[in-house]
A and B are shown apart, each in its own frame.
Chain A
Amino acid sequence: MATNTQVTVVLDETTTVAPRLTALQILHDWVTTVDHKKIGLMYIGYALLFLVIGGVEAILMRIQLMIPNNTFVSPQVFNRLFTMHGTTMVFFVGMPILFGFGNYLVPLMIGARDMAFPRLNAFSFWVAAFGGFLLYFSYVGGSGLYGAGTAPDVGWWAYAPLTAQAFSPGHSTDYWTLAILLGGIGSIGTAANIVATAICMRCPGMKLSRMPLLVWLYLVMSLMVFVTISPLTAAQVMLMLDRYVGSHFFDTQAGGSAVLWMHFFWIFGHPEVYILVLPAFAFANEIIPVFSRKAIFGYPAMVAASVGIGFVSLSVWAHHMFTVGMGPGANTFFVLSTMAISVPTGIKIFNWLATIWGGKVHFTASMMFAVGFLFQFLVAGLTGIMLGSAPFDWQLSGSYFVVAHFHYVLVGAILFMIFSAFYYWYPKMTGRMLSERLGKWHFWLFLIGFHLTFDFMHIPGILGMPRRIYTYEADRGWMIWNMITSSGAVFQTIGTLIFVYNLIWSYFKGPIAGPDPWDAWTLEWSTQSPPPVYNFAVIPSVESRRPLWDLKHPEDPDSTYE
C-alpha cells in the first residue's frame, strides 16, 4: 500500500476557447443543462436573488419596529412580511444555496465527472425554483374568494388551526403549502443525487475513510433530508385535505389536534436547521485547515460527531414545544436529548480549535469569515443550551431571545460560512480571484452590523417582548433595543452590496486564479479554473485524504499517517 508511485506533473495542453455563442444559445444552454456545475451555479444565483428579497422584507420589519406604535406598515402587511421572510430564507435561500455548493463541489471533490443522476439534478432544480416563484406569485394571485389573502400570513410554521379555512380564507395559505411542497420534492431529488454520487462514484482509491469531510457532511445532510422533509410533505398533504376535502386532521372542532401539527412540523423543523448548518460545517472543515496550513485535527472524530449530530437531531424536536403542555415527562426527555446534542457539536468546535493550534493562520477574507463563524457559532450554541433548559425556555420561548438565537446560527454561523465559501471557491468557479480588499470591507461592515442587530436583539426578549408582533407598547422599555437592532441593518446592507459588487466586478476584472490559488489539498484544485465540462482530463486515483498534499510533499505524504 505504501506508495512508490512516481508522481509527475503533466502540462495540460487542452485549450478551452469556445466559439462565440448568441444570447439565445447561451440561455438555451443554461436552461437545458444537466451539468452539475451549471446547475450548482443556478442554485446559488437563485438563492442570492431571494436573499436580497428576504433581506428587504427584514428591513421593512425593522423599520416598523424601530419605535412603538409605529404605522410604517399595517398589521396585515407586517404579518405577511415575517411569514414570507422566514419561508423565503429557509426554503428559497438556505436550501438552494447549500445544495448549489454541494452540487458544484461534491463530484469535483470525489474525482467524478458529474452527479449520479444528471437529469434528476436538473429536474430538482427547476421544480424547486418554480416553488419559489409560486410563493411570490401569491402577492399577486393569492386573493381567491372574498379578496382575502395575497401573500401568506400564518408564520413560516403555519400552525393549525390558524391555517384552517375558517381562520385563513382565500388562497394565501395554499401558496405557502404548494410552494414548499415543490421545494421539498426538489430537495429530496438533490439529496438522493448526493447520496448516490458519494457512495457510487468516488474515484479509485477513495475509500469512505479518505473522502473529504465536506462530502461526508453532505452525505449525512442528504440522508437527513429523506426523514426530515417527508414529515413536512405528509403534514402539508394533510393540511390541503383539511382545507379542501373536509378532512379533520387538525380540525379541533371535530376532535382533531392542533398539537399534532406542531409535532409533525417540528419533526421536520428541527432536523431542517441541522440540514442547514451541516454544510456550513462542511465548508469549515475544508477552509479552516487550508488557511491554518494544517490537516484537520481528528478526522475520524469529526465524521463520528457529524453522524452523531445527524442522528440525535432527529430526537430533539419538541424543545420547540416546551410551552405546549406536554407534561413533565416529555419535557424532561427533550431537555436531555437537546443538551446531549451539544456534546458532538462541541467536539467539532474543539477540533477546529485544535486545527488552528500550532498552525500558520493566513487571514484572507475567506478565513476571516470562518473565524467569525467559529465565535458566533459558539455563542449560538450556548444560547441554545439556555433554550434547551425547559423552565428557562418557558420564559425565553416565543420571545425575541429565540429570534436572536436562531439568527445567530443562521446569519452568524451559516451565512458567514457561506460568505467564506464564496471567497474560497469563487476562483475555482470563475477562474478569477475576488478582491481581497473589498472582501475585508465586506467582512468588517457585516460583522459590525450583525453584532449591532443580533447581540442587542437578545435583550428585548429578556425584557418580555414576544415575537411576531407588528408593534409594541411604549412603556415596556423595548424601544431603545429595537432601535439599535434596526440600525445594524444598515451596515449589513452596505456590506452585502459591496459583496455583490465584488462578485460582479471580479468576474470581469479580478486577477486570474489558476487551478490552485490557495495551495490547497483536495481534488477540485487539481483541475482548471473553471473546470472543463468533463471536470478531469484523467479520472484521478488517490491514496490519502489529501491527494494534492501527497503530490506536493512526496517526501512526507499523508498516506503514511492514515
Chain B
Amino acid sequence: MMFTIAMLKSIAIYMSPDVVHGRTSIFSPQGTPAHLIYGLSTLVLSFTLGIFLVVGGLLLYSLIRFRDRPSEADVAREPAQIYGSTQIELSWTVVPVLIVLMLFLATARVIYSTERATKPSSALDVVVIGHQFWWEYRYPKLGIVTANELHIPVSDPKHSMPTYLTMSSADTNHNFWIPQLAGKMDVIPNKVNTMWIDPATPGLYLGQCAQYCGTQHAKMLLRVYADTPAEFAIWVSHQQQPAAQNSAATEGRSVFEHNACISCHTITGTVATGRFGPDLTHLASRETIASGAVPNTEINIRKFVDDPAHFKPGALMPPMHLNNHDLDAVTAYLMTLK
C-alpha cells in the first residue's frame, strides 16, 4: 500500500515539466561543451544504430531462414560445410576500419575544440576544491570564498563570458558533473584540472559528484546558478562583504566562537578562521545546506548542527552536543548570516 502510494507520487513527480525536460539529461544541452558533445553523440548513435539494424537484422534473418525444419525430407543430411572465404573476411574488415576511422576523426575534433579552446580575456576564474562531502568555491580575482552553491554569469553567445573552473581536491577523488553544461571532470588531490562552462540561459543547473569519494558521495550535490550580469554583480558585491553583524544574535555568535565550530569554519570578520569545513560567512544567502542535500531552513540548520548524521550519515562534521538553549541561539545566529 505504502509502496503503491510512493510509486504514484513519483509518477506524478516524473510527469512534472521539470523532469520531463530532464534537468540533468545529457540530451538537453544548455552550454557550448554540452552542445558539442551532443552533436558528436548524435553522429555516434546514428552509426551504432545503423550497425545494429544491419547486423542484428542479418542475424535474425539467418536464424529464421536456416532453422532446422524436421519435416524436411533429408533430415539426416548435414548442410554444405563452408570453411571460410578470404574475400568475405577482407570486406568485413575493411568496412569496419573505415567506420572506425570516421568516428575517430569526428571524436578527435571535439576533443580538441573542448580541451584546447582559447580562453577569452573576459572569462571568469573560479577555483573549485572538492572535499568530503562538499564543494568549496573561490573567486581569486574577486576575493570571494563560498561553498556548495556556485554563482556564475550567463554567457551571451555573442559576447562570450565563460567560467573557467580550476579544480583540485583536498582529500579523495571527486568529480564535477553538470550534464546540461558540460562533460564531467575529475577533481583529484595533487592534480589541477581545468574545464569551462558557459550557460546561455539564466537559471539553476543541477548535478552531483560523479566519482565515488566515500560514505556521502551520493549527497555531494551541485548547484550552479547562472545569473544575469546585473544579478551577478549584486551577488558578488554582497559576497565580498564580511559577515552581517546582527545585535539580536550576539549570544549565538558567542556560542559559535566558544565552541569547536571555529576550528573548521570561517566567518569573515570574526575569530572563526577554520578551513576544514565550508565558509559560513553568507550561509543564510544560500538556498540549501549540506551540499544541496536539504533546503536552508531554520529547522534544518538546527537539526544539522545538532547531528549532521541526521541528514548525512558519514558526513565528517561531528555532532556538536550543544544543549537546546545554545542550539537555538547558534541557529538564530547562523540564520542572520545573509
Contact = CB atoms under 8 A, between A and B. Distances in A.
B68 A297 contact: no
Q: Which of A463, A467, A483 has the most CB of B within 10 A?
A: A463
B184 A395 contact: yes
Contact of A67 (B6, B23, B100): B6
A392 interface: yes
A162 B173 contact: yes
B177 interface: yes
B62 A357 contact: yes
B175 interface: yes
Interface in A414-467: 462-467
A391 B83 contact: no
A258 B191 CA distance: 8
A391 B62 contact: no
How many B residues touch the partner, as a band? Answer: 35 or more
Contact of A462 (B27, B82, B213, B219): B27
Contact of A386 (B41, B104, B177): B41
B188 A325 contact: yes
B59 interface: yes
Contact of A480 (B11, B58, B179): B11
Interface string B174-199: 01010100111110111101100000
Contact of A463 (B16, B24, B115): B24
B190 A477 contact: no
Contacts of B80: 294, 358
Contacts of B47: 385
Contacts of B11: 480
Given A343-B97, A382-B51, A391-B36, A325 B82 contact: no
B22 interface: yes
B318 interface: no
A255 interface: yes
A196 interface: no
Contact of A479 (B14, B51, B115): B14
B262 interface: no
Interface stretch (A7-15, A22-30, A74-82, A203-211): A74-82
Given A469-B218, A476-B23, A335 B82 contact: no
Interface residues of A, number: 100
A464 B24 contact: yes
Contact of A259 (B10, B24, B177, B191): B191
B179 A395 contact: yes
A509 interface: no
Nearest to B52: A382
Contact of B177 (A255, A361, A398): A398
Interface stretch (B87-95, B143-151, B243-251, B270-278): B87-95
A390 interface: yes
A119 interface: no
Given A353-B58, A385-B48, A360 B108 contact: no
A299 B80 CA distance: 16
Contacts of B27: 462
Contacts of A230: none
A162 B26 contact: no
Chain B CB count within 10 A is highest, among A153, A390, A558, for: A390
Interface stretch (B203-211, B225-233, B300-308, B322-330): B203-211
Contacts of A324: 186, 188, 193
Interface stretch (A39-47, A279-287, A344-352): A344-352
B257 interface: no
A358 B82 contact: yes
Most buried by A among B24, B116, B193: B24
B82 A395 contact: no
Given A256-B190, A328-B115, A392-B41, A350 B92 contact: yes
Given A335-B108, A383-B48, 20 more contacts: A75-B216, A253-B190, A293-B68, A298-B84, A299-B83, A323-B186, A343-B97, A360-B67, A361-B66, A378-B56, A385-B44, A386-B41, A386-B44, A393-B183, A395-B41, A464-B207, A466-B209, A467-B212, A469-B208, A476-B206
Closest 10 CB pairs of A and B: A394-B183, A464-B24, A469-B218, A477-B19, A252-B190, A325-B193, A252-B189, A298-B84, A398-B210, A395-B26
Interface of B: 6-7, 10-11, 13-14, 16, 18-20, 22-27, 34, 36-37, 40-41, 44-45, 47-48, 51-52, 55-56, 58-59, 62-63, 66-68, 78-85, 88-89, 92-93, 96-97, 100, 103-104, 106-108, 110-112, 114-116, 132, 171-173, 175, 177, 179, 182-186, 188-191, 193-194, 206-219, 221, 313-314
27 contacts: A76-B314, A79-B215, A159-B173, A294-B82, A297-B82, A325-B194, A332-B107, A332-B108, A340-B100, A343-B100, A347-B92, A350-B92, A356-B59, A360-B68, A361-B67, A363-B68, A374-B59, A385-B103, A389-B44, A396-B26, A397-B184, A464-B206, A466-B210, A469-B208, A476-B23, A479-B13, A483-B7
